[in-house]
Amino acid sequence: MVFGFIGKLLRINLTKETYVIEDLNLDYAKAFLGGAGYACRYLVEHIKKETDPLSKDNQLMIMTGPLCGTSIPSSSRFIVCAKSPYTHLWGESNCGGYFGPELKKAGYDGLILDGKAAEPTYINIEDTKIEIITDTTLWGKPVRETQKELKKRQKNSKVKTICIGKGGENLVKFATINSDGRNAGRTGMGAVMGSKNLKAIVVKGSASRPLINDPERFKAANKKILKDILNTNTREILRIYGTSAGVLNTYALGDLPIKYWSSGKWDDVMDISAESYKNNLFIKSKACYGCPIACGRIINIASDEYNAKSVEGPEYETLAGFGSMILNNNLESIAIANDLCNQYGIDTISTSSVIALLFKLYNEGKITKKEVDGLELEWGNYKALYPLIKKISFREGIGDLLAEGSDAVGKYFNISEEEIATINSLEVPYHDMRACYGMAITYLFSPRGACHTTADAYKALRKANEMDFSSLEIKKTNIHSNTKALVKYTANLQDYRAFYSSLVSCVFFNPPPSYMAEILTSLCGYEFTLNDIKILGERIFTIKRLFNLKMGLTPKDEKIPQVFLRPKNEGVVRGKAPNYKKLKKYYYEFRSWEIKKTGFPKFNKLKELDLHNINL
């Protein structure tokens, strides 16, 4: 009997147009849970260093976790994993909505996609009825139109879908996968899907929820968690404002990126604030499956120049990327840019960052108007956003270069890598490490390149006591210190979020870890302690490390560009910058990793985590 899991994976070979239903590896599930942990345990032995991420040999895994489809709130997410075509390292992107629970209802914990279809294809899954359908008519359609058409064909508006847009079809290196308005956004999983000629997957299931080992104990633990969530300030703020609440908060902390990370002040910040958003765009909130928070926004775009009046609203990262990063205070233009990215299927963080880099180079006189297809890129010129987003998605003109990412832009225009805001080729998301040195550690050692969800130190190290993470040795500390304590707390937070990536739960869902141990014990039927959670998290984090080392990562690749080591001369974090080399040394010591050549965990650490027999 399998509790929490369905116990089945669906493997589809697109080259052969065949499928097989396989048993879930229960040893993997016990050691790595589901989600990213399970996916990495599988892929680390199946993907080679020489595997081209956009070839038929790259495998794309879509995984749920043990909590998905249960009544536990904020745990409906699924995760998409493969070798990244963007970083050539571990590729991972998670997504909310309803697709994950529906996949479980259809009878599967996850999907493994092999090979490449000869022509554009989509997959239809209805329980054990699996169809691999060749269809060229959907290819080229934007995301919203694709999903609408698929539901029409199924004669059922309740089917759940994931699909790619033009970005994925054209192999934009940061293409996304969209699921009914939510996005698996980073590391180019949409490009991997596009490289397989796979436009979409449709799922409709008829089964009930996953089996629970001790239903009464599970119900009691769930009731306690739900009560906690409903009484938190975070839930109330996110319900009212969504993540746009972060704009003024990050600005007050010196965390908001301004003018491609160069400035500490911006007089127009109120124009893109949560209140402005609520008063000028907001229609209603939107929740993922089983979520009482409802942080999603449905908005109205009033412009006569844009033909979508009720669309998904921008999140904090998008507001910062298309707003403060280029000194754009036109909120409606940010909403339009966000929707364009969603419909073309490209990541708003990487898209906005590579565009902001172009603005910076243009305003510094390092590139000319002719080199950017005649566009005028003065700071604040939001009208340039729309053609640039389209050019990226269609790989037209300058967009063909931008579609390769910021590092490629820097190399093409002979710009020092020290001035490019990437770490391991992934654009740094919009939390400034000068405002919290824990984010330097987070970005530097994130398995997928710079990633703020690998460890939300900007929040947790300020509020660790309030979030009740002390049982995992994650505590409030001086966020502007280059200390072993900061390293320890951030590393432990990375492990806990790795555990989350395998549940797969939302990072806005933060009950005390003891509650999570109780939930998993009552769900799965074997004992989970706080120490088990710590070991699970470290094991999952470390196996992602092993994947990257296999792909060729070395300690010398782990560096922070000068753009973040140069203190600002204004604002609340004026004069501050992390000593990343010192933090890196402490981090390697804490993790028991070899620092000079290989970067590998030492054998005793691998044995402690039961990873010493992994076949690399």
Shared domain check, 564 and 505: yes
The average pLDDT across 298-327 equals 92
pLDDT class for 466, splitting at 50, 70, 90? Answer: low
Shared domain check, 374 and 264: yes
The mean pLDDT of the chain is 96
Any domain includes 166: yes
Any domain includes 381: yes
Any domain includes 420: no
Shared domain check, 589 and 465: yes
Host domain of residue 539: 438-608
Q: With CA atoms as reference, report the closest residue to 616 among 523, 526, 551.
A: 551
- For 83-134, write each residue's pLDDT tens digit: 999 999 999 999 999 999 999 999 999 999 999 999 999 999 999 999 999 9
Any domain includes 217: no
Shared domain check, 478 and 399: no
Shared domain check, 68 and 128: yes
Q: Which pLDDT does position 468 carry in this prediction?
A: 80
Q: Is the peptide bond before 504 cis (omega within 30 degrees of 0)?
A: yes
- CB-based contact 379:392 (threshold 8 Å): no
Any domain includes 228: no
The average pLDDT across 178-192 equals 97
CATH number of domain containing 177: 3.60.9.10
- b/e string for 551-560 if b means 16 or more Cβ within 10 A? bebebeebbb
Any domain includes 346: yes
CATH number of domain containing 399: 1.10.569.10
Any domain includes 190: yes
Asked if pLDDT for residue 307 goes beyond 80, the answer is no
pTM: 0.97
Q: Which pLDDT does position 286 carry in this prediction?
A: 95
Alpha-helical regions (H) of 44-90:
none
Distance CA 20, CA 112 (A): 10
Shared domain check, 145 and 34: yes
Any domain includes 211: no
How many domains is the chain partitioned into structurally? 3
Shared domain check, 364 and 289: yes
Measured from the Cβ of residue 607, the count of other Cβ atoms closer than 10 Å reads 12
Shared domain check, 162 and 285: no
Shared domain check, 401 and 533: no
Shared domain check, 400 and 264: yes
Shared domain check, 401 and 477: no
Measured from the Cβ of residue 383, the count of other Cβ atoms closer than 10 Å reads 12
The average pLDDT across 497-526 equals 93
Shared domain check, 369 and 510: no
Q: Which pLDDT does position 207 carry in this prediction?
A: 84
